[in-house]
Amino acid sequence: MKLSRLSGPPLWPRLLLVALLAVAPIPLAATPAQAAEDITDRVRAGEDIELDGDARVDLAGGEEITYGGVISGTGTFTVGGDGKLITTADSDFQIPADRRRQTVEARGEPWWWSTIEDPDPPAVTVEAGATLQYGDGEGTTGTIGHYPYDLPEFDWNALNHHVDGTFIVAVHGIRYHPGNLSGSGHIVQPRHTWDGLSLAGRHTFSGTLYNGTALHYSQRQFLSTMPEVDTVLNQGSFIIDTQEGNDTVLHQDFYSREWGNDINFHSQIFGSRVIMTGVYSWADSGSDQDPSLSDPGLNYQVVAHNHNKRGINVEGAFVQWGDGTDDRFFLPGNRDTIYINMHERRIRSHLVFDYNGPVTLSAPISGGIYHDTMDAAGQGDVTIAGTPGNEVTFADQQNYNGATTIETGAVLRLGSGEDGGDGWLLTGTELSEVVDDGALVVANVDTDIDLSRVSGSGSLELEGPATLTLTGDTSYTGPTTVSGGTLSLTGGTIADSERLELSGDDAVFDVSEAGDQTVSDLAGVAGSVVALGANALTVAGGEDSEYAGGFEGEGGLVKTGEAAFTYSGASAATGTWTVEEGALVLSAAELGGDLEVASSLGVAEPSSAAGDLSMAEGSALTVGTEGGVAVDGDAAVSGTLAVDYAEGDPLPAEIPVVTADGEITGAFDGLGDGAEVDVGGTAYRIRYEDGRVVLRTDAPSEGAQDDDSAAAGTDGSGPPTWTYLAGGLALALLLGLGLLGYLLLRRRRSGKDDATLELDIIDPAS
């Protein structure tokens, strides 16, 4: 045959390709995976089934089958379709040998606990849309499990479950372990089916858990983790424990729909913690697979049948709410909607709050049974963790009998500062105490409270308006602040506190029933009051301080320590003010009693005392150019005298140093009557007059006549009358200039720090 020549590409490449295809080996089709055996009809018939590979049941059209047969052999079991399979007899089989790889290890002798590594693929699968139920809820079990491991104290099911549909464990009389859980469906443990599920394992399941009766999570005998589960609908008891050396962390949000559910933290002795970082809330909307709360305020409102009542029981466990990374409070509610019980089981309970922002507990921590929480005191301790920003408010009575610890950087507030939000602690028990290394703030509106046994390096603040009474054994060393209300001492002391500050104009510090008291430093604003009663208050003077408030009672004040205490208030207290060490600086102050000075007294602005003034030998008095101190009684002066003068200040013609309604005795060291005193380069002379010690620049000359006739010139030998008229005009001019200088001086002084006096502080012992 003759081949005709065609246009286009040459023919030989196509012929070569045909030849290559002719000699190349033709690959065989891949062997298809063995299809799962459909055992649906055999299940419908109730047969016992021995697996020889993978098997499945397909339920269409919502079909529901109750299967009483037993599955055995080797293989896997899958439920598909949109129906429901209920098993009522226990089955036991294994997965094929080539799929077995997991190991289960027991550790922690003698407190054995188990964990799983490298889990096997699922033995039981519930596909999306399908439902598998173990047990009929009436007393049958119907579980699938294989237990090949020789483990102490716990039987570990080797048959793992993958759930994309719904898996219901409605068995009675046993605590069932479903192996490791995977999938994204819905796992249900129905109501009233004790003893529930054990969730041992490192699960990758990411769906929703429904607890109707009991879920046992991370017990002493096994570890549980479910990092992909975000929601638990809790209608029963969710029971949590730890193992030796392991913290159990749950980030899930818990919801409840009906009254009668709780979370229980069971007894353990290892010091391991259970950490809850989610929120335990009521749910009034959404499906069981996706519960939600329409209004967060409903957590705090009583609803019909108490459906939003929920609580926790701490049974000798170490429990922590929050991990310091947010401020989502674990248990929102009040005493009408939540309860918190702490009991002692081998050890006392311990509850820690760890947030990075303000949170409020509006219910008691107590120790009763379930919702009858106030029937007994809680057996445990509470800690406010030292995370920056962790500010916890107790807005209700706290009825636990142990220690309350506030770590460094943390704040505990007793009372929200709003009506109905008062809070207080149980005191007077053998173990009750406050260890305050952070800040303790009391802000009750209506409820007066007592505190005792307060220690630590932290601060105490009363915001008021209710009264806080410290009844004894107070050794905390941080500052004490009263910004409102009354801080009362009836026992003990706050001498270890670094300072007392009355920062509110209605603040009261009441020691009238506490005996003589000591504070390191005292500061405060006008309007505040120290109620002394018949007691003396010692200001020890660790740092310079200023107080503008008042004192009341029959008691007095004692100044010790090296620092200066400046007082600019009006004291109604009638007791003696004693300056033993350091300096007392008066700035337009009014004292209601005697003033005794063994060390240093400064007068920044003219001040007064209702009693006597006594300046001891070796004491020092420093006055400003505007004047010194006036007393209603006698004045005995001694020691050194100095005038505080700032360069450029105008100088008056006269500086009153001491004024007394009674007698003035004594003299300042080296300053007899008429002695010269230099003030800013100006020579003054000191005069001890009837009721006055004064410095003048215009001291009269010696030999001046002082009888009436000579002053008036009535004997005809005096100067002419016009000389008296001229002298009078000159004197009037001089007094006018003096008044102008005094006013200028006051104007200049009004812009100065009243408490600023350069004092030589005298040590009486030197």
Q: Is the pLDDT of residue 80 over 60?
A: yes
What pLDDT, on the 0 to 100 scale, is given for residue 267?
Answer: 78
Strand partners, 474: 454
pLDDT digits (tens, 9 = 90+) for 323-355: 999 999 999 999 999 999 999 998 999 999 999
Residue 210 C-alpha from the chain's centroid? 34
Using DSSP, how many helices (H) and how many strands (E) does the chain show? 4, 71
pLDDT band at 317 (very low <50, low <70, confident <90, very high): very high
Q: How far is CA 5 from CA 2, 10, 13, 386, in A?
A: 9, 10, 15, 95
Task: List the structure tokens of 708.
Answer: 């009436």
Q: Name which of 535, 611, 521 is nearest 566 in CA terms.
A: 521
Please state, rounded to an integer, the average pLDDT across all residues of the chain: 89
pLDDT tens digits for range 126-170:
999 999 999 999 888 999 999 999 988 899 999 999 999 999 999
Asked whether residue 31 carries a pLDDT value surpassing 50, the answer given is no
pLDDT at res. 752: 39
Average pLDDT over residues 81-85: 98
Instruction: Give this prediction's pTM.
Output: 0.86
Give residue 17's pLDDT: 37
Supply the pLDDT for residue 107: 87
| Least confident residue range of 30-39, 306-315, 674-683, 719-728 | 719-728
Residues 176/143, Cβ–Cβ less than 8 Å = yes
Helix (H) or strand (E) holding 405: strand 403-406
Are 214 and 197 a contacting pair, CB within 8 Å? yes
Average pLDDT of span 416-440: 97
Other beta carbons within 10 angstroms of residue 397's beta carbon come to: 18
| Residue of 55, 14, 37 lying closest to 144 (CA atoms) | 55
Q: What's the rounded Cα separation, in Å, for the pair 381 and 407?
A: 13
Residue of 695, 569, 577 whose CA lies nearest to 626: 695
| Angstrom distances, CA of residue 219 to CA of 66, 204, 317, 350 | 33, 19, 12, 18
Range 618-630 average pLDDT: 97
| 659-688: average pLDDT | 97
Token pair, residue 172, equals 């009675």
The predicted pLDDT at position 14 comes to 42
Question: What does the pLDDT look like over 372-412, one tens digit per residue?
Answer: 999 999 999 999 999 999 999 999 999 999 999 999 999 99
